[in-house]
Each structure stands twice: as C-alpha cells, then as structure tokens.
Structure 1
C-alpha cells in the first residue's frame, strides 16, 4: 500500500489525476474502472482540463464503472450513466462503445451481473480501478459484511448509504433501494487500485480500513492485501494516521 498525502481536495484531485493520466499515456488502450460520487469529481475535472490542452487522448480507452442503481434508466438524471456523461465522458474523446456500466433498467439481476462480469473478462480485466470510500468502509456498493469472493451482484442499500446519497435526489424516498455493483473479487482483480478520500468525516474510517484488521465488517480493509494499491487523501482525511 502506498499512501500519498495532499494538503487539500484540489491537490488530492490533481495527484490522483496524475496517476490516471500516466496509465493512459503508458497504455493508450487501457481499461479504466471508474467511480461516481462527489469525491472523484475534482479528478475528472483535472483530466478534462489536460485533455482540452492536448495532453491526454482517450480515443482508445475503455471504461467500466463500479455500479448503477437498479430500476433506473440511462436517461434518468439520477443514474450513474447520466452522472458519468455529464461530468466526464461528454467532455473527452472516448468512444461511446467503449463506455460500460451495469444496465440499471434491466431488472433481471442474474443476467445483468453475469453479463457485466463477462464484459470485464472479455476486456482482459481492469488496468486501473478508481475508488472512493464510504463512511462505513464500503467500496462500490459493497456494504459491511459482504463476502469478499463475490463478483458483480445486486445489493440492498443500507440506511447509511441511502442517507448519504439522498442529496442527489429530491427526497430520501426517491433514492433507489437496490443497486448493481462490482463485487470485492472484481475490484481486487484490477491490476492497480487508486482510492481518493477527503474530509474530516472520513478520518476515522481511513484508520479502521487501512490500519486495522482485514474484515468484511470494513469492506475497504481488503485493499491492504492488494499488491498495487495507492491511497490519495487530504490532510483532514489523514488526521488519524
């Protein structure tokens, strides 16, 4: 595990974007695993800026996202498909056919999950997986006590995750209760994993996840076992380590 400290969110985002851009430059046809949520937005903004300057080319890049709400179509403004296009894909030269997310509109969970695992396998696996960190230690939608050996699966979201995500919806009642997510097994098979964490409210879980025991009660703790895991965090998130 490599830990990179940054003074603030802006510097954290730039350092993470540096790692992703290096991956794209070294392997133009790489497979990037991407994440949604507020934390990666600064990283995406930095990558867009470098693309516009001509420093990056995403024409050959393929992406696979961690997760998608179940029961939501691509066109829904609350879908992760919509989020990723609004905040990243629409601003770079990635080919539409190279963008992959679980199909939230398809309610056949087995078909969606098996199909998504097949996509990742056919792509040759993920070169670099970007992650955020939930306040309870979840990664993707892998909530506490999920089995480490799971591939893509359908999950019922915990109350704390619903609470954290309600800011993106008109009301808490509008937040979907289920989601499709890459499993811990899928994430751990990525050749490189990059996690971005910011804010004082994440300091406690950072300590538990990366300086405590490896346990399904803290899903992110398994990342301690990955051979090429990079944690980039700001001063506030690093306060207890």
Structure 2
C-alpha cells in the first residue's frame, strides 16, 4: 500500500481493534432474527482494544517510527476511554441486576434503541463522506482495496476462532464481526497521543469511510449467513 511505517502501524492498530458501533449493530441484527449469542461477547469486545494499540506501538518502534513511551497518559487513553468504560460498566451492571433490572428500564433502553441507532449511523455516514472528500490525495487504489479486503480476512480468522471455541451461531457471527471491524473512536484518540506523526487522513478514512460502511451493508449480513450455514 506504500504507507509509511508509522501510518502502517496506526492502520494496524485500527484493524487489530474493534468497532463498538458495528458490534452493537450486529447484536441488533441477531436479535431481530431471533438468534441468541453469548452475553460475554461484550467483554470480548472490550478486551480486544488495548492489545491492538500496544502492538502498533511495538511495530512503529521496530520500524524506526516515532512512538511515544507507554506513560500514564497513554495507558489512561487505552484503558479508560469512554467506549471501554461504558462497555465494561454496562456489562457489570447487567451482571449484577440481571433480568429484573432490565425489565425496569426496558422502556427507556430497548424501545428507542433502533431509532437512536439509525440516527447515529446517519451521522457516521456524513462524517465518513466528509472524510473521503478530504483524503483524496492519500487514498490510493491499494489503500482502498486494503480497507475492503481486510474485513474479509479478519472475519475468516474470527470464524475459525469462533468454531474452535465452540461458540453458538450468534457468537460465531459476533466474533466474525469483531475480527472484521476496525476502530474509529477509541484507537484514533490513542493514536493522537501514541503516534503523533501518523496521518489521520489515512487511518480514519480507511476505518470510518471504507470498512465501516462495508461492514454495515455487506459484512454483517454475510457473516451472519456464514455463521448460520456453518452452525447448520
């Protein structure tokens, strides 16, 4: 793709991590089709954030790029960013309160979820479109192809991992979604601190402008269909 080592490391961090919105959308699709999945997949999603960022810093330092040291600010950005705190916090609250707690707030959480998700995805589409227009100079055909091919490669690894772990059909589909997605919330914030020389136009346009819409339109339906076919 002819990216600089620093940009390549930043892209690796995004694709080694996960997209929370893609994951939430996939869980909504599964729920709409009546397909159950393991509840702990939320914790799996949270656990996949930090290793990707640490690996990117290692790759950047090995290739001679300028990577900031793993100081307290960077660890705070990695482990205490908003999406991780909300994800883990929601998981723990659900674990403690159980179904009775969910029944009490169902009208506030479940009923408006689809509408709020639609509005959020529309906003993300606008952001992605603006990013594509502003990144014409750096988005070569090879880089764009990477943003379309990498989700398929990641999903294939997710399929293998899900089957090896004995996950349910829904669990396998979510593992494919996680492995085939790319972060555009938590990791970009960490990259601004950890790899300040990396070009945001490259990694943000790839993750948000290419891979994110691909996963929403093609990826999620395809991964669910594959999981159902494999699960029989």
Report the TM-score when normalising by structure 1: 0.26
Q: Which has the higher contact order (CA 8 A, sep 6+)?
A: 2
Which is richer in strand? 1
Larger radius of gyration: 2
What TM-score do you get using the length of structure 2 for normalisation? 0.27
More helix by share: 2
